[in-house]
Structure 1
Amino acid sequence: MVKVLLTGGSGFIAAHILEILLERGYDVVTTVRSEEKGQHILEAHPNVPKEKLSYVVIEDIGKDGVFDEVVKSDPPFDYVIHTASPFHYRFTDPVKEVLDPAIKGTTGILKAIQAFAPTVKRVVITSSFAAMARTDTLVKVYDESVWANVAWEESVGDNKGATYRGSKASLPLARRPPVTLAEKAAWDYVEKEKPSFDLTVINPPAVFGPIVHHISSLSDINTSNANILEAIQGKYKDGNMPRSIVFLWVDVRDVALAHVRAIEVAEAGGKRLFIVAGHFSAKRIADAIRETHPELESKLPENVIDDLPADVYQYNNTLGRQLLGIEYRTLKECIGDTVSSLIKLGA
């Protein structure tokens, strides 16, 4: 049976990837940051035998050599899906809490696979639209060819959005030894080292969708879903929902499927894939909540301003759609299912 290593298995996107992998019969080993998180994963899949699903604890993916023993599996791994990279704005030390885990975690797992897991055919890495979004020039249409322009100095400064973009993008250090950031570091490694495996990278924008991973409280909700939660809790009843900083979105289930299809479609090797469903705005989200959950009307803002610019940048998702066969969910379906999952969690 085909065996997959899935890093960061307790995360928002990874939990959906895990469900699809198990549904399709893959054997999966996932990494987690604690025994508690690992047990939550096993409890979420009580009918899956232990030989089909297990976990390994890695507390800090930014440490040198942490993946070396993990990839030495018997039976060996056929594929690796690397999703373990922080995405939040709650950090105090951008290098230690965001940049090192993202960059060193990515290069570290590639080095470990090359050294100790010769059977791995492909590595799929979760990147982000943050590795594409530019602030120095007007991009009319985003596609896989566009790279972000965030430099290391911005990433280690006070701009938390820039720190996340920096963890996903690539520019050289101006006053330190050259540093490549996470996604570009992966492509550079493959180009330079010519490993036995090939690489596929998935680049989604804002990711909404139902929550299937364990969270200890609603305060632990993933960043992209936070505004939806606050909207249905009535936080914006007397005002507008926060203005979007990204105007492109995708459903988490479609992102998860893209990761799995990326190991199943031979032609996906060596590709960077922009997985995006369309444009969204605060008003469109509020309208979707109203349509799917009219009982929440009293908690929603009455006159939401549509903050989608008339000249908003466009996108080209042709490569991902044609190569992986993704049929994207609508915003209404996505937001409706997201709200339903939040209500089940006590929102």
Structure 2
Amino acid sequence: MSRVLLTGGSGYIAAHVLDCLLARGYSVVTTVRSTKKGEQILDSHKQYGKDKLDFVIVEDIMNPGAFDSAVMSDPPFEAVVHCASPYHYNSKTPEEICRLISTAVDGTTGILKAIKAHAPTVKRVVITSSYAAMIDFSKPLTHVYAEEDWNPITSEQAYQNAPFAYLASKTYAEKAAWDFIKDEKPSFTLTTMNPPMVYGPVIHSLSSLESINTSNARFVSLLRGSPSTPCPPTVNYLFVDVRDLALAHVLALEKQGAENQRFLVTAGNYCNAEIVRIIGKEYPEFRDKMPIGEALGSGERPATGVNGYDNSKSIEILGLQYKPLRESVVGFVDSVKEML
């Protein structure tokens, strides 16, 4: 039985990673920011004893040495999955943008430093990065993105607006991780997951839909909309189901060939109008709230002028079989419809 440290266990993606780890027989310790969050996780997994699931408090991942004690365990950890990183578009002032970027970068480098210094038994590290660290707006919309692509965003651009600040935070954090591997030459390998929009069921503790994660916030706005409003623009035409992404994290701990690799983890193209169509078909009670819009195209891609992608590495090395958009939409709506 392998023992894994999972950071940010109360988050949207990490909650699914946790369930996947437990289902596959791992012993897991997850970091949380408060005892309350840790107890909520234990309460929702009462079938597991402390030998299979426990938590440790890391109040602020920006603090120097924040993970030093968290990476030490008896029995010792063999792997670490780092999901704890901010994802929001709320940073407006230069100070807020600076903190967003610093939190992402310092949290990522901080845990790598802690592992090297205090957890010599760790052999594999998996980090949740993002498609945001790949996208390049100077390229045509039809550019086929793959693991070789990097976002060229500059520090000047990062301070222009909140979305650019987020793009910079993910890009700089992942680059810092790979620089650490190159410069420090630790005894563990690194794998990064680079998902686009992440959809699917919400299984972590959620006080209200106002605190929903950023990707799924668009679902809430659609479900609370009206037929008199136009369907909002899609912007990012790639998605992945959160359950597939969680499995990808775990498979990266198990599969030979996954070490020291980036993975573009995506099921392919979609658009907001397709979400509207699926919700209208599957949930008649929400039809009168759906905005105006028609799904694009009918072939492998929705029409033209959308993001290209090459997800072959995730299929060939990790063995992923991706869920279609309908399963992601139904999974999300079923998990939150009682809160609407």
Task: Give TM class, smaller chain.
Answer: over 0.9
State the match for 1:337 in structure 2.
331
Instruction: Give the percent of matched residue pairs that are identical in Structure 1 and Structure 2.
Output: 46
State the match for 2:287 in structure 1.
297
Q: Are 1:102 and 2:93 an aligned pair?
A: no
Q: Are 1:148 and 2:151 an aligned pair?
A: yes
State the match for 2:133 in structure 1.
131
Residue 328 of structure 2 aligns to a residue whose secondary structure is: helix
State the match for 2:17 in structure 1.
17
2:233 aligned residue (243, 266, 281): 243
1:114 aligned residue (109, 113, 116): 116
Q: In structure 2, what residue type is equivalent to 1:88?
A: H
Q: In structure 2, what residue type is equivalent to 1:127?
A: S
Q: Cα–Cα, structure 1 residues 121 and 2, in superposed 2: closer, same or farther, change >3 Å?
A: same
Deviations 1:3-54 (A, max 9, x none): 0000000000000000011111111000111111111111111111112111
Q: In structure 1, what residue type is equivalent to 2:151?
A: A
User: Is the CA contact 1:282–1:306 (under 8 Å) kept in the aligned structure 2?
Assistant: no
State the match for 1:271 in structure 2.
261
User: Is the CA contact 1:83–1:125 (under 8 Å) kept in the aligned structure 2?
Assistant: yes
User: Is the CA contact 2:91–2:97 (under 8 Å) kept in the aligned structure 1?
Assistant: no
Q: Are 1:209 and 2:177 an aligned pair?
A: no
Q: Report the RMSD for the aligned CA atoms in angstroms.
A: 1.5
Q: CA deviation at 1:95?
A: 4.2
Deviations 1:61-84 (A, max 9, x none): 011111111111111000000000
Residue 195 of structure 1 aligns to a residue whose secondary structure is: coil
State the match for 1:287 in structure 2.
277
State the match for 2:74 in structure 1.
74
* In structure 1, C-alpha distance between the alignment counterparts of 2:27 and 2:99, rounded to whole Å: 31
Q: How many residues are matched? A: 333
User: Is the CA contact 2:153–2:168 (under 8 Å) kept in the aligned structure 1?
Assistant: yes
* In structure 1, C-alpha distance between the alignment counterparts of 2:256 and 2:150, rounded to whole Å: 25
Residue 6 of structure 2 aligns to a residue whose secondary structure is: strand
User: Is the CA contact 1:106–1:182 (under 8 Å) kept in the aligned structure 2?
Assistant: yes
Residue 257 of structure 2 aligns to a residue whose secondary structure is: helix
Residue 267 of structure 1 aligns to a residue whose secondary structure is: coil
State the match for 2:210 in structure 1.
219
State the match for 1:174 in structure 2.
none
* In structure 2, C-alpha distance between the alignment counterparts of 1:318 and 1:86, rounded to whole Å: 28
Q: Structure 1 length normalisation: TM-score?
A: 0.92
Q: In structure 2, what residue type is equivalent to 1:239?
A: T
Q: Are 1:165 and 2:167 an aligned pair?
A: yes
* In structure 2, C-alpha distance between the alignment counterparts of 1:270 and 1:287, rounded to whole Å: 40
Q: CA deviation at 1:306?
A: 4.6
* In structure 2, C-alpha distance between the alignment counterparts of 1:11 and 1:340, rounded to whole Å: 19
State the match for 1:62 in structure 2.
62
* In structure 2, C-alpha distance between the alignment counterparts of 1:49 and 1:96, rounded to whole Å: 40
Q: CA deviation at 1:186?
A: 0.4
Q: Are 1:314 and 2:317 an aligned pair?
A: no
* In structure 1, C-alpha distance between the alignment counterparts of 2:216 and 2:170, rounded to whole Å: 20
* In structure 1, C-alpha distance between the alignment counterparts of 2:110 and 2:204, rounded to whole Å: 25
Q: In structure 1, what residue type is equivalent to 2:28?
A: V
* In structure 1, C-alpha distance between the alignment counterparts of 2:259 and 2:314, rounded to whole Å: 12
Deviations 1:135-164 (A, max 9, x none): 223361100000001112222x24111111
Deviates more, 1:27-36 or 1:84-93: 84-93
Residue 193 of structure 2 aligns to a residue whose secondary structure is: strand
Q: Structure 2 length normalisation: TM-score?
A: 0.94
User: Is the CA contact 2:136–2:152 (under 8 Å) kept in the aligned structure 1?
Assistant: yes
> Within 5 Å, which residues of 2 pair with 1:40-51?
40-51=40-51
Q: In structure 2, what residue type is equivalent to 1:26?
A: Y
Uncovered stretches (5+) of structure 2, i.e. residues with no partner: none
* In structure 1, C-alpha distance between the alignment counterparts of 2:26 and 2:217, rounded to whole Å: 32
State the match for 1:4 in structure 2.
4
User: Is the CA contact 2:81–2:126 (under 8 Å) kept in the aligned structure 1?
Assistant: yes
User: Is the CA contact 1:128–1:203 (under 8 Å) kept in the aligned structure 2?
Assistant: yes
Q: In structure 2, what residue type is equivalent to 1:147?
A: W
State the match for 2:220 in structure 1.
229
2:252 aligned residue (250, 262, 276): 262
State the match for 1:26 in structure 2.
26
User: Is the CA contact 2:226–2:288 (under 8 Å) kept in the aligned structure 1?
Assistant: no
Q: CA deviation at 1:335?
A: 0.5
Deviates more, 1:74-83 or 1:132-141: 132-141
Q: CA deviation at 1:342?
A: 1.3
Q: Are 1:190 and 2:181 an aligned pair?
A: yes
